[in-house]
Structure 1
Amino acid sequence: MVRKTKAEAEQTRQQIIDAARKVFLELGVGRASLERVAQVAGVTRGAVYWHFENKAALFYAMREESAHVFDELEQDLVSDRLANPLDAVEESLLGFFKVLETHPKVREVFEIMALRCEYVDEFAPILYEVNKPCIDFLARLCKVYGWAAERGYLRAGLDPEAMAYDTLSFATGLFNNWMIDDEADDVRRRAHAMIRSHVALRRA
């Protein structure tokens, strides 16, 4: 048997990840099998196990691939590019939903994580990793709202930490409603206006 080159091995790995996304979306993670993923990927079951120890490892790889799309948004939130930190909060929220609108594969991964997976058994440890971006986002929000208060951009009487928790709750609630909505309904059409209104209520 001819040994695959590194490029060929990476291509096979990518085929498996893409196939897993399709199968998880169609069947749900619990009902999906690695055998089915192999069929859709056009590879052997052994090829899947060569790249991924189990279904949880494959799920994690799929999730990590999409997470990188948001790296720039995360850095922009705590950068000094914008004079008003609240503008950074607004841009970050708008940017997140813009990615969901314009990157179908990323949207599918988030749909799988939010609606197609039960975090039990081998997937129980993954729940922390799935929620970690929210924890990190909260920490950044606390920092940015603190800066806004220090510089006089946050409305008087508002507590920066409370506002950070409030924005996280708003964003996760909007995300959940956005995911179960469809393109013809109000939530997706109104999302950008809702974000701007949310931030506007915090401005001095």
Structure 2
Amino acid sequence: MVRRSAAVLAATLILLAAAPDAQANMIIRFEKEVVENIRDGNAQGLTAYLLGGGNPAATDNDGQPLLVVATRANRLDMIETLLHHGARPDAVDRLGNTALYWAAEAGHAHIVERLLTAGAKTDNQNRQGVTPLMAAARDGQVAVVRQLVTAGADPRLSDYTGRDAFGWAGGPQGNRVTAELNKAK
């Protein structure tokens, strides 16, 4: 029995080594399915992926962690499931953006709150040095700026151009954003 299992394993490894494109295509199709489950809000599909040994820290073809995919899709239920199964709240995409960055930029206060509760760091900077607070300030997300400042985000951190959150505050909500930034400790 052991000899037969070893032979099957050896044959499988040879086939996989001989056909790396087939293996890659298999992974891409499966990854595409889990990403579609997240975007479509298919909780059963996501749960089946995770309970079947799927990695909650996996990334899509664009290098976005599944938590970032769920955040960008505004799917709090999917975020809850991923966090429950061990997704890291500070995982970054290829540009260095976290789920908190994307939630802050979009003004999804409910997701910002959940990510902060899960331990997301407020001052992670992406590759350009932009923090979630800067993204929220830039887009006039007053409620999110308030949340991040209350959670301890530093409005004086600067990006690679030297701008801080005050420098990013603008648009029609600029004065309100600046007022919230001034409340930082």
- Alignment TM class, shorter chain as reference: 0.3 to 0.5
TM-score by length of 2: 0.32
**Which structure dedicates a bigger proportion of its chain to helix?**
1
Between the two structures, name the one with larger relative contact order (CA 8 Å, sep ≥ 6).
Answer: 1
TM-score by length of 1: 0.30
